[in-house]
């Protein structure tokens, strides 16, 4: 255990926030899907990795910049998400109970397919600015992380505008608040669910594209990622978007801090312990509401 200097501490905080931004993007879609559909999408991690592989492919085949590849991966995975919701998830009989297992089945099916196509080699996308670092008032900011954070921020702002300023956004928020009441005032709840799932998967695609240049990945890394983003949305409060953003930043900062104070290997466990302690005090998560299930 080492106590870091102030400079190192601030540097760590900055890195934590940068990573947290990307986590926030990954978790936002998941919590949104849960809010609207009460479906917990365990396949989110697999879609993340799928997004990462798409970016990897585009980069190695055409040299397309990973940040630009968002333009392709996001609409592509939006379409996949829409189809999955429309033709698969709507068939589940009691989503509250079964959705976890159905989406888990999707996750391992995807993992198996991706493992077959891309093998188990760990991949990473390394554009020519991959090892560049910007120095700002003696603090070092890796360009990929900065770019990842910026891109995450842009997508999150877009998401915020969609939710707050468009009719679709109003319909989504209405459905989150009360599904039946939304239906009564004329919201096409089924359509909203399909679109939300599409948007959720699209944010996963964006997160995956950013992940591909910061971390190395293969098909089975989806389990690491899903456990991380799921923990984020439980900590934040299932279905709460602000909660997920807050929890993502908490995770990002805590991971980085643990890495310098103890060791890198222990950093995930500190977050899980924090999650457990929070649940003792607040079972509904940081910003979640108490929902009585099976009403």
Partner 1 sequence: MRLLRVPPWAWIGGGLIALLAFPIVQRGQYYQHLMVMTMMAAVLASSWNILGGYTGYTSLGHAAFFGLGGYLVALAHNQFGWHPFISTWFLGLVVMGVALILGWIALRTHGSAFVVVTIAMVFIFRIVALNLGEITNGARGLTQPRPGWGGVQWSPEIMKIPFHYIMLALLCLTVLVSWRIRLSKFGLGLVAIREDEGKAEAVGIDALVYKVLAFGISAYFVAVAGGIYSYFFTYIDPQFIFNIFTSVTMVLIAILGGRGTLWGPVLGAFIMEPLGDWLVGTFGGTQIHLAVFGAILLGVMLFMPQGILPSLSDWLKRLTRSRGAGRLGPEPGAGQDASSAAKT
Cα Rg of the chain (Å, integer): 19
Q: Would you say 124 or 223 has its CB closer to partner 1?
A: 223
Choose the binding region for partner 1 from 90-98, 127-135, 148-156, 172-180 (rule: CB under 8 A): 90-98
- One residue of 11, 12, 55, 99 binding partner 1 per CB under 8 A: 99
In Å, what is the CA distance from 114 to each residue of 16, 52, 77, 169? 30, 11, 15, 33
Least spacing, CB of residue 210 vs partner 1, in Å? 23
- Burial profile 243-269: b = 16 or more Cβ within 10 angstroms, e = fewer: bbbbbbbbbbbbbbbbbbbeeeeebbe
In the shown chain, the binding pattern of residues 233 to 272 toward partner 1, with x for contact by CB under 8 A and - for none, equals: xx---x------------------------x-xx-xx--x
Q: How far is the CB of 109 from partner 1 (least distance, A)?
A: 3
Q: Which of 80, 144, 152, 120 is nearest to 221 (CA)?
A: 120
Residue 145 C-beta: closest distance to partner 1, Å: 23
Closest listed residue to residue 193, CA positions, set 98, 94, 82, 31: 82
Residue 122 makes contact with partner 1 by CB under 8 A: no
**Residue 112 touches partner 1, criterion: CB under 8 A:** yes
Q: Toward partner 1, which CB reaches closer, 109 or 164?
A: 109
Q: Tell me the closest approach of the beta carbon of residue 103 to partner 1, in angstroms.
A: 10
Q: Are 159 and 28 in contact (CB under 8 A)?
A: yes
Query: Does residue 193 touch partner 1 according to CB under 8 A?
Result: no
Among 223, 259, 261, 286, binds partner 1 (CB under 8 A): 223
Angstrom CA distances, 5 to 2, 10, 18, 222, stand at: 9, 9, 20, 35
Q: What is the DSSP letter of 126?
A: -
Burial class, 141, CB count within 10 angstroms (exposed 0-12 / middle 13-18 / buried 19+) = middle
If one asks whether residue 230 binds partner 1 (CB under 8 A), the answer comes out as yes
Question: Total binding residues for partner 1 by CB under 8 A?
Answer: 54
Return the range that interacts with partner 1 (CB under 8 A); candidates 14-22, 166-174, 191-199, 218-226: 218-226
Determine the Cα–Cα distance for residues 101 and 81; give it in Å rounded to an integer.
17
- Length of the chain in terms of residues written: 295
Strands (E), 80-233: 133-136, 139-142
Q: Which of 40, 182, 192, 205 binds partner 1 (CB under 8 A)?
A: 40
For residue 152, the minimal CB distance to partner 1 (Å) is: 22
Verify binding: residue 115, partner 1, rule CB under 8 A.
Answer: yes
Q: Which residue's structure tokens are 């709840």?
A: 189
Per CB under 8 A, residues contacting partner 1 are: 34, 38, 40, 88, 91-94, 96-102, 104-116, 120, 219, 223, 226-227, 230-231, 233-234, 238, 263, 265-266, 268-269, 272-273, 275-276, 279-280, 283, 285, 292-294
């Amino acid at each position: 255990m080492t106590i870091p200097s102030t400079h190192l501490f601030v540097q760590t905080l900055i890195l934590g926030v940068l990573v947290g931004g990307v986590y926030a993007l990954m978790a936002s879609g998941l919590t949104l899907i849960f809010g609207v559909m009460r479906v917990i999408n365990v396949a989110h991690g697999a879609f993340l990795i799928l997004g990462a592989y798409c970016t990897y492919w585009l980069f190695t085949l055409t040299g397309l910049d990973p940040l630009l590849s968002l333009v392709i991966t996001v609409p592509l995975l939006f379409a996949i998400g829409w189809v999955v919701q429309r033709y698969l998830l709507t068939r589940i009989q009691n989503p509250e109970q079964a959705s976890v297992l159905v989406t888990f089945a999707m996750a391992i099916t995807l993992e198996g397919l991706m493992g077959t196509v891309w093998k188990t080699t760990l991949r990473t996308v390394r554009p020519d600015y991959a090892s560049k670092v910007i120095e700002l008032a003696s603090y070092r900011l890796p360009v990929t992380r900065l770019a990842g954070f910026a891109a995450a921020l842009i997508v999150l702002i877009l998401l915020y505008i969609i939710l707050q300023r468009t009719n679709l956004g109003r319909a989504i928020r209405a459905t989150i608040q009360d599904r039946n009441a939304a239906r009564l005032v004329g919201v096409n709840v089924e359509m909203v669910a399909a679109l939300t799932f599409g948007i959720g998967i699209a944010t996963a695609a964006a997160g995956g594209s950013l992940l591909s240049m910061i971390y190395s990945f293969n098909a089975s890394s989806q389990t690491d990622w899903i456990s991380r983003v799921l923990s984020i949305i439980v900590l934040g409060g299932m279905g709460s978007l602000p909660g997920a953003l807050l929890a993502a930043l908490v995770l990002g900062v805590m991971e980085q801090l643990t890495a310098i104070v103890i060791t890198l290997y222990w950093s995930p466990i500190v977050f899980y312990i924090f999650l457990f302690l929070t649940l003792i005090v607040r079972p509904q998560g940081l910003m979640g509401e108490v929902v009585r299930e099976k009403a």
